[in-house]
Homo-oligomer: A and B are copies of this chain.
Amino acid sequence: MNAISEVPMVAADDGQKRFRQTDVSAIRQAIRSGEFSSHTSGLAGGNVQGNVVILPKDAASDFLRFCQNNRRPCPIIGLSEPGDPMLTALGVDIDIRTDVPRYHVWENGVVIDKPTDVSHLWRDDLVTFVIGCSFSFEQALVESGVHIRHIEQGCNVPMFKTNIQTTPAGPFSGPMVVSMRPMKATDAIKAIQITSRYPEVHGAPVHIGDPSLIGISDLGRPDYGDAVDVRVGDIPVFWACGVTPQAALLQAKPAFCITHAPGSMLITDLLNHQLASF
């Protein structure tokens, strides 16, 4: 099984500098030309980044129902018409064939290529899904003074399979995957308030407190990402995670599929703040 992660390895920082505003069009040009083909964490950090799934129309129909059935882990922020490579809802000039730094091309559940451009693979029946990512709400948390352990420790957010089952659609099914951020109770309360305003990037937590209640036996051994310190007085806070649809995809093994390479996400023109619902 391929490594899956929404969040690439990043350097420890105070969480502020990663969300600074930057010139997104220059970055997009570097990505489009193939000059930049790496991880996007901290790049144009004030802009919304998204997980990308591209499927032929028939599988896309099942996958759309799966996302609709499981909106907390699979919030769709962009959806194309079949065959249309442009994502006008996410930016004036986003061409999904060229504007992801690196792609994974899948056949029957196996990665067969990792190109920086998929123009040569484009078909008239391909539908693009862009799914929200917790990067966006992390900006709001950091700016409100909430301490995010994995950012401070310079590693990936720990992610866990749970005993919460997704609602299946066609071949897509599987457990909900959650990301976990340990924090003080007062930060946890504030984090619930803040992320409730971001339904398009997973929204409020799905669980707080005892990990065993959602089928997690050991916080020190995440299924994806890295373990972080859990300190005395911390309460673990669990959010639905964008790895859930990727895991469902691996399980469904569609004949053909294109995704972003883990960590190399689509950078949109939207600002994280614009996703706040009030």
Interface residues of A (CB under 8 A from B): 185-186, 188-189, 192-193, 196, 204-210, 213, 233, 235, 278
Query: Which listed residue (B193, B206, B278) contacts A204, Cβ 8 A?
Result: B193
Give CA–CA (A170, B78) in the complex, Å: 58
* Dominant secondary structure at the A interface: mixed
Say yes or no: A208-B193 contact (C-beta < 8 A), given A185-B213, A213-B185, A278-B278.
no
Whether B210 lies near A189 (C-beta < 8 A) is no
Give CA–CA (A235, B193) in the complex, Å: 17
Chain B hits for A192, CB < 8 A = 189, 192-193
Give CA–CA (A189, B205) in the complex, Å: 7
Whether B189 lies near A209 (C-beta < 8 A) is no
In chain B, what residue has the closest Cβ to A214? B185
Query: Which listed residue (B188, B206, B210) contacts A208, Cβ 8 A?
Result: B188
Say yes or no: A185-B204 contact (C-beta < 8 A), given A192-B192, A193-B192, A193-B196.
no
10 pairs, CB–CB < 8 Å, chain A vs chain B: A185-B209, A186-B206, A186-B207, A189-B204, A192-B193, A193-B193, A193-B196, A208-B208, A209-B209, A278-B278
In chain B, what residue has the closest Cβ to A209? B235
Chain B hits for A186, CB < 8 A = 206-207
Chain B hits for A213, CB < 8 A = 185, 233
In chain B, what residue has the closest Cβ to A213? B233
Chain B hits for A204, CB < 8 A = 189, 193
Query: Which listed residue (B196, B207, B278) contacts A185, Cβ 8 A?
Result: B207
In chain B, what residue has the closest Cβ to A196? B193
Give CA–CA (A192, B187) in the complex, Å: 12
Chain B hits for A188, CB < 8 A = 208-209
Question: Min CB distance, A210 to chain B, in Å?
Answer: 7
Give CA–CA (A278, B185) in the complex, Å: 24
In chain B, what residue has the closest Cβ to A233? B213
In chain B, what residue has the closest Cβ to A188? B208
In chain B, what residue has the closest Cβ to A191? B192
Chain B hits for A185, CB < 8 A = 207-210, 213
Chain B hits for A205, CB < 8 A = 189
Chain B hits for A235, CB < 8 A = 208-210
Query: Which listed residue (B208, B233, B278) contacts A189, Cβ 8 A?
Result: B208
Chain B hits for A196, CB < 8 A = 193
Give CA–CA (A193, B209) in the complex, Å: 17
Chain B hits for A233, CB < 8 A = 210, 213
Question: Min CB distance, A17 to chain B, in Å?
Answer: 29
A-B interface, 5 closest residue pairs, ranked by CB to CB distance from nearest:
A192-B192, A209-B235, A185-B208, A185-B207, A193-B196
